[in-house]
Structure 1
Amino acid sequence: MSGGAEPGATTAAAATAGGIEATTARALSQRLAVEQAERRLPSVAAGLVRDGALVWSDAVGTVDGRSDGELATPRTQYRIGSITKTFVAVEVLRLRDEGRLDLNDPVSAHLPDAPHGAVTVAQLLSHTSGLQAETAGPWWERVAGGSWDDLVASRPKLLFRPGARFHYSNVGYAVLGELVARLREVPWHHAVREGLLLPLGMTRTTTRPEEPAARGWGVHPLADVLHVEPEHDAGAMAPAGQFWSTIEDLSRWAAFLAGETGGLLSKETLAEMCQPIAVNDVPGTGWVGAHGLGWQLWNVEGTRYGGHGGSMPGFLAGLRVDLETGDGCVVFANATSGLRPSLAEDLLGTLREREPVAPPPWSADAEQAASLELVGEWYWGTSGYTLSLGRDGQLVLGAPGVQRGSRFRPVEGGWVGLDGYFEGELLTVVRDDAGRVSHLDLGSFRFTRTPYDPAADIPGDVHPDRWH
């Protein structure tokens, strides 16, 4: 017999939907019920976010895995494991934006006793520090944690040259948690609570379980029996995976990642955190997973997702947000294994297919008239690029991401590249003595109206024979 309650009864008690069609909600709840039954999970809970709001949530199963047990709901707490790291990372970036640290600082500049203090703050955030993944001694996820001094005394190893490669490090986030504590002069979780959780209304995100909370279970792989998993304070390792949360609370964090930061983090800093820095390279396969500054990133058939996964004994969790549309998904299960990594993608896919977001209506932009003299064909050497005008004063040169195609936004003195080869580079318009546009100067490259225009000051000059 299955260890969960009847899916239909459980769903009826727990499901909530707002802003989506009832048929869509039923399809989502059906997918969740299939996950709980087929993967033999004591309970599973999920929520979807659109336009910054929780539009659907549901839970299937019971907190103790028994058919007559307490039903799980979107208000039930689950341990979220490594999703905790994203809160620590955001608090580190807030400290950076306050001028308290620089990402290139060696961590020893703020933590003189840190192991391998030459590694930088950015390397710790992006898992490129080279620090070992886990602590020495007993598995920290299953035993009560020690102090910071205990962690330092254990002499964590440096396995790789800092900056050389991606190597996931829970120890690295213990260091970052201590960094936050030293600079804020309060325990790391107090800093996160005061700086992030309370302003965002996430009052059900805590370091220890608060009822109603799910119990953590191991499910026997070959029988329908359960094993109690431990729950404890991880001590110095807590910044790597201590938090508990609910679907309702963590959906607010998904909205944060989608851009609804409540003024707690600038959109520029959030975008900086979501830039891929270290690819999780698996030989023989195309890259799918990467890390930015605290956020995991996924490239699924061209769709870029941000978020993080989480696991602790007895619990699995996932947070995933489509970084273009802002649609997000949160999933929890109170089992050590079994939750399919594809569940969040499946739920987001159902929402996207059944209720696609309509593009904003097109309308004319009279302000573009001032830049019409720039549109049309331009040549870098003999390579042709079409320049067109975008919204908000942007220029679009060629196809962004193809060869040297890039988008540019206006800044003082010209336009700066937003992506592609010319990201960060300055584009300026050069005019002749009569005030007419002569050429475009882009990172020392000359873009001219005709190939090798002799009037455009081509570097190296134009051959006197010209075209012949």
Structure 2
Amino acid sequence: MTTSQEELLPATRRALLHRIATAQAEGRSPSLVAAVVRGGETVWHGSRTSVDGHGPDENVQYRIGSITKTFTAVLVLRLRDEGLLDLGDPLEKHLPGTGAGEATIAELLAHTGGLAAESPAPWWERTPGSLRPELSDVLGEQPHRHPVGRRFHYSNPGYTLLGALVEELKGARWEDVLRSDVLEPLGLHRTSGHPQAPHAGGWAVHPWADVMLPEPIEDLGRMAPAGQLWSTSGDLARFAAFLAKGDDRVLSAESVLEMRTPAAPAEAEEVAAGAAYGLGMQIQHRGRRTFVGHGGSLPGFLAGLMISVEDDLAAVVLTNCTSGPLVSTVAADLVRIVAEAEPRIPEPWRPLPEVDRSVLELTGPWYWGTNAFALRLTADGGVSLGPLSGNGRRSRFRADGDGTWTGLDGYYAGELLTAVRRADGSVSHLDLGSFVFTRQPYEEEAPVPGGVDPEGWRGIR
């Protein structure tokens, strides 16, 4: 991924600079660095610092805290895609004896495994990982706080278990697997488990005075898969581009879409805030935009990575203070600034290179009862089905190669769509998960469940 600052208009660049300058000043952060990604490339980079002449660039490392969890989730999805596990497997199948093995791998990824939010005292983020050498030290005597699978409850120990799962199935250290399977293929050469110069120091800023205190930098040991990593705005910009579109060297577009899809039931306050959680990724609705990504914090550092897939934009914001700017909000604002000032230009419309006539004849209006739907061809060779007007159930379908289609999203995700033909080859109706769609409302010749009154349509007598 290359950097091309000239692609943004001067007014847009100034608005971005103003936003991060305001965040650094009002958040009282020793330094702040940010990047914006559009179309898979970094199109803007900016920084602010309290030390004149020492503004960090895109190669300066900051600690990224829980954005580490997204990296760990990528490793677990890779294991699934390699056939080494199923997300529905209980942890006990692959990592026995933890005392938390009832939870499935998917539940751990989505923070619905019922585990505690933190490890037993002392506070793991500010003490050496050597105090917790075993998984039992991370989980404690009572690892669960809720029944497995019943509710979303953010759990750092849950991601420790996922890191241990990676090590068990790959026979290597979590960080080594991460480097060989993710960091090197994506060119994230400045992302590491321990700081590598140049890197920022972590600071606590006094809440009532403009003075600072250095924060300790601890090796988190077993907790590393939950929050150990250091990275740069440049590397995280590349990672954001990957999370938006996938990379077959690491994970397919379909698998990263799965990560970005809500997988956990939200609490009432999260529903009100428009928040959800996928597989290692946070999902937030801000205004008319949906953002995916993750935030992170460790003593001395705050980090935010936000992606708007629809706008083809992402932003990264990193700071070196324990509390300060709301970095995920700042990142979302950077995306919004570019999206509103320089809206995405659509790709030119182009006709399909070829089309199957037996599929083409299925396009157009269909009726489920008296509800009108339209079936359309999609550019990827599949079809979509949705209401002709207003809200209603709509889904995209991929072709299965045998005359059927499987739902990809919405109400009909995973459901089978079949065009049922008569003996002469003509289309009788569509069958979608037992629903019958006909060319006319309650068509007499179609096998409408419950039958059709033989007197047909009529007015009041």
Q: TM-score, normalised by structure 1?
A: 0.90
Q: Distance in 2 between matches of 1:225 and 1:351?
A: 35
Counterpart position of 2:301: 315
Counterpart position of 2:450: 460
Counterpart position of 1:212: 198
Counterpart position of 1:336: 322
Whether the 8 Å contact between 2:138 and 2:222 is mirrored in structure 1 is no
Matched, 1:259 2:259: no
Determine which of 269, 274, 284 is the counterpart of 2:255: 269
The structural deviation recorded for 1:364 is 3.0
Counterpart position of 1:117: 101
The structural deviation recorded for 1:152 is 5.5
The structural deviation recorded for 1:361 is 1.5
Q: What secondary structure, in the 3-state scheme, does the structure 1 residue paired with 2:176 have?
A: helix
Change (3 A) 1:420 1:115: same
Change (3 A) 1:336 1:284: closer
Determine which of 51, 57, 60 is the counterpart of 2:48: 60
Residues 125-165 of structure 1 deviation map (CA, whole Å, 9 limit, x = unaligned)? 10000000001110000100121255267324211111101
The structural deviation recorded for 1:36 is 0.9
Query: Which range moved further: 50-59 or 416-425?
Result: 416-425
Counterpart position of 1:94: 78
Q: What secondary structure, in the 3-state scheme, does the structure 2 residue paired with 1:81 have?
A: coil
The structural deviation recorded for 1:68 is 5.4
Residues 413-435 of structure 1 deviation map (CA, whole Å, 9 limit, x = unaligned)? 22222222222222222222333
Change (3 A) 1:198 1:17: same
Residues 190-217 of structure 1 deviation map (CA, whole Å, 9 limit, x = unaligned)? 1101111112121111111111111111
Whether the 8 Å contact between 2:246 and 2:252 is mirrored in structure 1 is no
Change (3 A) 1:323 1:16: closer
Matched, 1:35 2:23: yes
Counterpart position of 2:184: 198
Q: Distance in 1 between matches of 2:225 and 2:171?
A: 16
Tell me which amino acid in the other structure corresponds to 2:400: V
Q: Distance in 2 between matches of 1:267 and 1:230?
A: 39
Counterpart position of 1:382: 370
Determine which of 434, 439, 443 is the counterpart of 2:429: 439
Q: Distance in 2 between matches of 1:301 and 1:275?
A: 19
Matched, 1:295 2:285: no
Residues 54-89 of structure 1 deviation map (CA, whole Å, 9 limit, x = unaligned)? 111111105xxxx45843222211000000111111
The structural deviation recorded for 1:333 is 0.6
Determine which of 350, 360, 364 is the counterpart of 2:351: 364
Tell me which amino acid in the other structure corresponds to 2:427: V
Change (3 A) 1:287 1:425: farther
Query: Which range moved further: 136-145 or 411-420?
Result: 411-420
The structural deviation recorded for 1:300 is 2.2
Q: Distance in 2 between matches of 1:409 and 1:119?
A: 31
Matched, 1:239 2:225: yes
Q: What secondary structure, in the 3-state scheme, does the structure 1 residue paired with 2:297 have?
A: strand
Counterpart position of 2:382: 394
Counterpart position of 2:336: 349
Question: What percent identity do the matched residue pairs reach?
Answer: 48
Whether the 8 Å contact between 2:4 and 2:42 is mirrored in structure 1 is no
Q: Distance in 1 between matches of 2:48 and 2:139?
A: 44
Within-5 A mapping of 1:399-438: 399=387, 402-412=391-401, 413-438=403-428
Q: Distance in 2 between matches of 1:190 and 1:325?
A: 34
The structural deviation recorded for 1:39 is 1.5
Structure 1: gaps of 5 or more residues: 1-14
The structural deviation recorded for 1:188 is 0.6
The structural deviation recorded for 1:372 is 4.1
Residues 373-402 of structure 1 deviation map (CA, whole Å, 9 limit, x = unaligned)? 323332212222233333233333234993
Tell me which amino acid in the other structure corresponds to 1:41: S
Matched, 1:76 2:60: yes
Query: Which range moved further: 442-451 or 414-423?
Result: 414-423
Counterpart position of 2:159: 173
Counterpart position of 1:5: none
Q: Distance in 2 between matches of 1:382 and 1:89?
A: 44
Tell me which amino acid in the other structure corresponds to 1:61: T
Q: TM-score, normalised by structure 2?
A: 0.92
Counterpart position of 2:137: 151
The structural deviation recorded for 1:229 is 1.1
Q: Distance in 2 between matches of 1:260 and 1:25?
A: 28
Runs in 1 of length 4+ with deviation above 6 angstroms?
none
Equivalent pairs, count: 450
Residues 265-286 of structure 1 deviation map (CA, whole Å, 9 limit, x = unaligned)? 1122111111101143234952
The structural deviation recorded for 1:228 is 1.3
Tell me which amino acid in the other structure corresponds to 1:434: D
Residues 202-251 of structure 1 deviation map (CA, whole Å, 9 limit, x = unaligned)? 11111111111111111111110111111110111111101011111111
Counterpart position of 1:141: 125
Q: Distance in 1 between matches of 2:362 and 2:446?
A: 15
